[in-house]
Amino acid sequence: VQLQASGGGMVQTGDSLSLSCEASGRALSTYVMGWFRQAPGKEREFLAAVAWANLRAYYADSVKGRFTMSRDNAKNTVALQMNSLKPEDTALYYCAASSKWTNLTVVGSYDYWGRGTEVTVSS
């Protein structure tokens, strides 16, 4: 599975941004999909994950209520809608795929990673 995240950019505090992750090489429908981010000098941080059938989403407390993750298995894509952005949301954002709905917050639980897309939020 090859993953490619896109949609990053430079925005101001309070703005919204929508990220997209497109998969190729294999259908995403059997994978748990996750979004992570990594700020300079910090460890990669879990943000959200969605199960196969898009019936259950799990969010980190830091983004709950502001970020919404969705998936479209027919289009082989996942999205991350980010609202009320803050300067501390500035990071490189990654999408990832896992074959198991366990340890969702752990980087090592994911089998495939895409290249990140950069988000910068200015104050």
**What's the number of CA atoms in the CB half-sphere (13 Å) around residue 2?**
2
Q: What secondary structure does DSSP assign to 34-86, as a single string? A: EEEEE-TTS--EEEEEE-TTSS-EEE-TTTTTTEEEEEETTTTEEEEEE-S--
pLDDT of residue 57: 87
pLDDT of residue 46: 97
With tokens 């479209």, the residue in question is 72
DSSP-derived letter for residue 101 is: S
pLDDT of residue 55: 65
- Mean pLDDT, the chain cut into blocks of 10 residues (123 residues total): 95 98 82 94 96 80 95 89 97 94 92 95 96
pLDDT of residue 108: 95
